[in-house]
Each structure stands twice: as structure tokens, then as C-alpha cells.
Structure 1
């Protein structure tokens, strides 16, 4: 059953990426919506789940929050290191840095993290159905609905950093297949809840960095319009609705 539901997530992910691709003439609105979706997924979905699953403390601070901050800092460090390496090879001199100096590898790394998150979605889906049909149905609703945001963000992140359409589509397909793989894997093993929570905390920090430091500033750079801000708010609201219905 979990694998069957994951096929729905596969289709929803592709639909999210298709939507992001089709509205490129309204790039600022796309980025505003993507930033809102990412903020909503982190604050309303990933972080609460991480805190619930990885509840232990380290020197008075929840383990999930420490990993959240670590993910944010590592995302910043990786981006700076890649940008410095590219610049040292004369990338800016020769026009290799597209999109205002953004490094394509950062987009691919972020998209790969989205794929990893989608695998975990599939694992969570399979584990929930192992517990019972009730928990399975709740998790299924959350996974299928928010995989639209995952597909949207995966395509947007990959293309924003200067990767061509072929690469963006390849990462989108990988993200769509990931929950199916994750759900199928639960036939063989079960991931400990604390490990899943730790991963979600770390990934949430990295995703928040990309939303706050890259996506939203870019959305408002050339088009500081109210419509862009509205798209961001709508993105957060959409995730809120998904979490509310799933709960």
C-alpha cells in the first residue's frame, strides 16, 4: 500500500516541477512562492517532526535544533567555498558564473538534499503503514500534498543556480522517484526515529538558509512587488493547510 501511495507522490512531484518550469515568465513570482513553500516546509513540517523524533538534549539544547543550526551553517560554508573556488579559477572573468555569481554546484547539492528528503518521506510513509492504516493515511496525505512543493523547489533551486534545463529535469525526476524507493525500502528495514529526526533537523537548517539568503532576496531584487510578497505568504499558507489536514 505504501508503495502505491508513493506513486501518487511521484506524480505530484513531477507536477510541481512542471508548474515551476511553465511560469518562468513570472520568475519573481515563482521564486517568491518557492521561498514561501520552503519556509513553510521547514518551520511547520520539518522542524516540529525533528523535535518530536530527536528529543534528546545536548548541553541544554535539543539535538534537533543543534543540527538545524549546523545545517544552516554548513549550507552557508559550502556555498562560500564553492564560490571562492570558482572565482579562483577565473570563473567571473570568463563569464562562467551565471545568475549574479551563483555556482551551479550549489543548486545541484541543494537539489540532491531535496532528493534525500524525499527518500525519507517514502521511508516515513512505509513506517506509518507498518503501524496501521490510520497513521498511514495521515502521513500519505502529508507526503503527497507537500511533494508538489518538493518538485517545485527542486526544479527552481537547480535552475536558479545556472544549471541547464536538462540537469534541472534530471534532478526533478530523481526527486519524484525518491519516495517510491524510500517506501519500497521499508519492506527490508526500519529507520530509527531518532536518526530520522536528526536528519530532518539538519536538512531543515540547510533549506532555511537557501530560502532566506538566496531565494527570497532574488525574488525581490528586480521586482519588489506586493504580488511577490503575496506569493510567499501563499506558499507558507499552503504548507500550513497541508500540515493541518494531515494532523
Structure 2
């Protein structure tokens, strides 16, 4: 495949997970416990990929400026998350409250959201998924192994991502079709991020290093501040162990992709 081929194919597969997550929500087939466990696994894998793979690469690519750009990415996501007000955080796992706050299908209705709050969450998620595509495509500009690993890390958390977005839309009073469409928009945003990064890489490879450092900071926020609190507060006893398993899964994947020569 050409320079764009493999990164765009893998981004399309990752984006499909958003669509599937939204579809499962609308069809009500994914239980809250399954959502927590899938999110925990994806969280661990994403945390491992960010700290053990992307962070060292960013420090090597931008020895002096990387910490500043990484911090900018983290703080940018913090401010974006805050802009959603009292709405559930874009990366929070939505599970039914323990006492009577659920409609019985895993959707939170204890505190119904306004349409404005729902749109704020969608805006935050679109930036998040834009970063998903940026990270996958940008990692391929480092090496094929880095690209494959980031593809795996991101795909693992996209299923609950689509689930959460559709759940927020339903809680904001949207129809099932609109809820599904909101998850599909996340897929489009992922592909847009990948295309933008691949085009930018052809125009100015140095700019990709800056974008990737910012994305690394955003993924630190997503894994540590976005995903882990939701998993931790879910009440699922196995969740912390699944997070650890996700990190170990990343380490095994790192070994395997290098062992088969995806450098």
C-alpha cells in the first residue's frame, strides 16, 4: 500500500468501532458491566501505549519542547472537558446508578441532560476522536510498529466511546437515530484526523512531531483523568485488574509486533 493506504484502512477499522458502539446502545445489547470491563481493558492498553510508547518517542523527537506540548495537550483536554459543564465527561463510562437511576437498559436518567449539554459533550468527543485519527496516522510516520500499536490501543476504547456518546444523546432527549448518528460522527472525525495528519506529514514532517506531542498529552488526560475515574467508580471489582491486564496486553503486543518485524 502507499503512504496513505495502511494508516487510512486501520483508521477506518478503528472508526467502525465507534459506529458499532452506538449501534449496540440503540439496540440495547451491551450491558453496563460489559461496558465497564471493555473500557477497563481499553484504558489499560491506552495508558500503556501512551506512557511506554508515545511519551518516549515524543521526548526523542522534540527533546526540549516535548514536555511543553504534552502539557498543552493535557490542559487543552481539561479545558474542553470543563466546557461540557455538568454533563458526563466525554470519556466517562456511563453505567446505571445503584439505586433507581436507570431505565433498565444501561442509560442514565437520574439527571436528564439538556440538548445544549449533549452538544457540548459531542463537541468534546469530536475533538477526542480527531486526536484518535491523528495519533494512529502520526504513529505510522514514526514506524509501522508504532502505528499498529496505537491502532490497537485506540480501537479497544472506541467501542465504549461510541456507546457513551449515544447514551449521552439519548439522555439529552434525542431520538435513537440521532443518537446513532452522533456516534457515526465520531467515526468521521477519526478519519478526518488521520487524513489531516497524513497531509501535514507530506507538507511538513516536523509539524507532525508537534501534533503528536499534543496528542500524547490529550491521551494522558483521556486515560488517567477521563477513563480511569469512571472505571474506578463503577463498583465493578474486577475493573482495576482488567486495567492492569490491559497494560500487560500492550506489553505483549509491543513484543509481538516487533518480533514479526513491524518496525
* TM-score using structure 2 length: 0.66
Residue 5, structure 1, aligned to residue 6, structure 2: yes
Higher helix share: 1
Question: More deviation in 203-212 or 111-120?
Answer: 111-120
The answer to whether the 8 A contact 2:87-2:121 is kept is no
Shift of 1:69: 2.4
Partner residue of 1:115 out of 130, 141, 146? 130
Supply the distance in 1 between the matched residues of 2:245 and 2:60 (Cα, whole angstroms): 26
CA deviation string 1:3-60 (max 9, x = no partner): 232244135414644675658321110221222122122212221121111112xxxx
Supply the distance in 2 between the matched residues of 1:104 and 1:151 (Cα, whole angstroms): 24
Supply the distance in 2 between the matched residues of 1:167 and 1:4 (Cα, whole angstroms): 26
**Equivalent in the alignment of 1:165:** 180
Shift of 1:171: 1.0
Residue 37, structure 1, aligned to residue 52, structure 2: no
**Equivalent in the alignment of 1:76:** 78
The answer to whether the 8 A contact 1:35-1:215 is kept is yes
The answer to whether the 8 A contact 2:43-2:246 is kept is yes
**Equivalent in the alignment of 1:132:** none
Supply the distance in 1 between the matched residues of 2:248 and 2:19 (Cα, whole angstroms): 21
**Cα distance, 1:242–1:178 mapped onto 2, change above 3 Å:** farther
CA deviation string 1:81-103 (max 9, x = no partner): 330699xxxxx9982169xxx86
Shift of 1:146: 2.8
What is the count of residue pairs matched by the alignment? 218
Residue 232, structure 1, aligned to residue 238, structure 2: no
**Cα distance, 1:36–1:73 mapped onto 2, change above 3 Å:** same
* TM-score using structure 1 length: 0.69
**Cα distance, 1:77–1:45 mapped onto 2, change above 3 Å:** same
Residue 190, structure 1, aligned to residue 194, structure 2: no
